[in-house]
Amino acid sequence: MLAALSTAPPAAAENAAAAAPAASGAKGRNVKFQDGTIVPALGQGSWHLAQGRHPAADEEQALRTGISLGMTLLDTAEIYGGGRAEEMIGRVIAGQRDRVVVVSKVAPDHATADGIARACAASLARLGTDHLDVYLLHWRTRQTDLGVVVAAFEALREAGKIRAWGVSNFKTSDMEDLFGVPGGDRCATNQVLYNVGNRWIESDLLPWCEQRGMPIMAYSPLGNDSLVHDPALARVGAAHDCTAAAVALAWAIRGGNVMAIPESGSAAHVKENAVALQLTLTPAELAALDSAHPVRPSDVLRSILDRGKSWLHDFRSGE
């Protein structure tokens, strides 16, 4: 089970959202895991943190600001900054561990029974905590033995080192393979690329996960900042007196089954992002964004090819 969290937005989040007059209790503000745990739909990523892009003190303050505004899901990985991102998050959560949900990831070259246990221990040491709330396999390679991965994750869960486990960058065919492994259906989440400008998961993966009650964790919800100045998003933002980034985040978490983990090294930008927790987009605004950023034919083709690969595998296996 994940650590139980209070999902009521703190007063600071309400103050940050005050500039959005049309904001109200948005359906997508919270996400429920299969075990019933409810977490904020908006968290914070750390892919490029602790790498000198901003002063470390500024990045740490940005993370603390996000936590104070209700963005209490913190995502990191052992490979981010060679472990320095985990160390930074460890400093930020010191003294407030029970307020946050900590997610980290194991690299596939450590995805052996002993390797996962060692990687987890190293991540816990860098984070300064005795457990992870969610531990993910960062991506799958041809050498990845999903049975070994699931068994290792389950051993860590039973030992209290992790509360739940999941995967990252898994396509639908990968998820089907995972669910074919004993215990694979205990997967808590799949972290993938998703934003209004890159909607590839909508044609297959997102509905597959929704049917199984599994939330998606969306990385790069701002398109690596390509959406920050998007005209369509900016027009919607003007109607709510908020930024295009806040609109992009509100769009990502609109359905209640997606958690978005934007990254920022600026406390000011984090405050702007936090408005999304209180921002409800109207049907007309959602339609306008659909028109400006439709699902691309290449996204549909990608899903068809992935399905075809799965069917071919089943055929060759005699299933």
In the prediction, which pLDDT does 296 show?
79
How many Cβ atoms are within 10 Å of 179's Cβ, its own excluded? 16
In the numeric block, the tokens 């089943």 are attached to 314
Q: Is the pLDDT of residue 289 over 70?
A: yes
In the prediction, which pLDDT does 308 show?
64
In the prediction, which pLDDT does 1 show?
56
Torsion, Cα 201 207 210 212, to 10 degrees, reads -110
CA distance 5 to 236: 31
Instruction: Name the pLDDT band for 297 (thresholds 50, 70, 90).
Output: confident
Taking the model in full, what pTM does it have? 0.88
Instruction: Name the pLDDT band for 124 (thresholds 50, 70, 90).
Output: very high
Instruction: Name the pLDDT band for 134 (thresholds 50, 70, 90).
Output: very high
CA distance 152 to 157: 9
Domains identified in the chain and CATH numbers = 11-316 (3.20.20.100)
DSSP per residue, 254-295: TTSSEEE----S-HHHHHHHHGGGG----HHHHHHHHHHSPP
Instruction: Name the pLDDT band for 74 (thresholds 50, 70, 90).
Output: very high
